[in-house]
Structure 1
């Protein structure tokens, strides 16, 4: 697991210039291949051993959304806010398209899902993600070695290899808070999602 501490700035999308010292820190991390060693300290650096079964990310060209993301009436995993859900989805969609992936409504090479957490949480299994997070036709087991602790105000993004039914990558940003509430400022959310995808080193095209 590779983890770096980044900082929300005034006008975060524009960079760090002119930031206020009162801005909260945002912790960004990712797991590749779904087989990273379990972290004892989620905010420390974890060394992993290369796996002989490393996923070939060059084979992924298209992506689809998980069923609960496509369900326009589902706000369960998005603080009961459809506008906020659409904001995060659009930010993730922007990052995927900018990396050369093509959206496929059904049958994409990668199945994407995400949810947000306004309170600190620890993800150990699919049960911790919530019933219905993966649909009945999306039986993807969560690898317990992907255990991760998320601070208050977190966005978690996951990628599933649809053909193999395994998780191949996940990334998160924690610390998007405004007082005791999740900070839904569009610029900050887009910037945080962008920081998550800075951890993703692959493309769906040949660039």
Structure 2
């Protein structure tokens, strides 16, 4: 009975652990982030991103959704340029399990037992968002988010938006004085 009560909690834990995006950021401590109010995309670097054009659009749409909440407007003469790039890898999970079978044990002779393991792979990705000062052409902020990817096209918009939102939550940086 206790196991039945724990199953929904375990399921929720598994569901939320798979959707986590791990974020890291770095920035130029001499940059004045209060001066940045407009943005545009660095088309050259975005064209080089090794993902489908549809996923590029999803990322750019998600950035366009978040930037106004940060006080930014899109501009032909921007204060900053936004660049993206991605990395993808496979996470290998190995599960060792105990089961039934025949073998020999200590002191009492033969016993029944069996070991087996299963291996699964899960696609993981990292999205990098770079913010570049348009006047100096120098990188002033970089955020990256890593997590599990989905191949389900119905969930891609949601998952990419989650990556972008979590990364840009850290912009602008809180400058410690």
- State the TM-score, normalizing by the size of structure 2: 0.62
1:20 positional shift: 4.4
Matches within 5 A, 1:31-180: 31-33=26-28, 51=29, 54-68=30-44, 74=47, 76-79=48-51, 81-105=52-76, 107-119=77-89, 152-178=124-150
Separation in structure 2 between the aligned mates of residue 66 and residue 86 of structure 1, nearest angstrom: 14
Question: 1:15 aligns to what?
Answer: none
Larger radius of gyration: 2
Q: Which digits, 9 at most, give the CA deviation of each residue in 1:134-191, with x for residues without a partner?
A: xxxxxxxxxxxxxxxxx9311110000111121100101101324xx69862112101
Q: Which runs of 5+ in 1 are unaligned?
A: 1-17, 34-50, 121-150, 203-207
Number of residue-to-residue matches in the alignment: 128
Separation in structure 2 between the aligned mates of residue 186 and residue 19 of structure 1, nearest angstrom: 22
> Aligned to 2:56, what secondary structure does the other structure show?
helix
- State the TM-score, normalizing by the size of structure 1: 0.54
Tell me, yes or no, if the aligned pair for 2:33 and 2:172 is still in contact at 8 Å.
no
1:201 positional shift: 3.0
> Aligned to 2:21, what secondary structure does the other structure show?
strand
Question: 2:161 aligns to what?
Answer: 190
1:96 positional shift: 1.1
Task: Compare the two structures and name the one with the higher strand fraction.
Answer: 2
Task: Compare the two structures and name the one with the higher helix fraction.
Answer: 2
| Large movers: runs of 4+ above 3 Å | 181-184
RMSD: 2.7
Separation in structure 2 between the aligned mates of residue 87 and residue 26 of structure 1, nearest angstrom: 17
Separation in structure 2 between the aligned mates of residue 92 and residue 104 of structure 1, nearest angstrom: 14
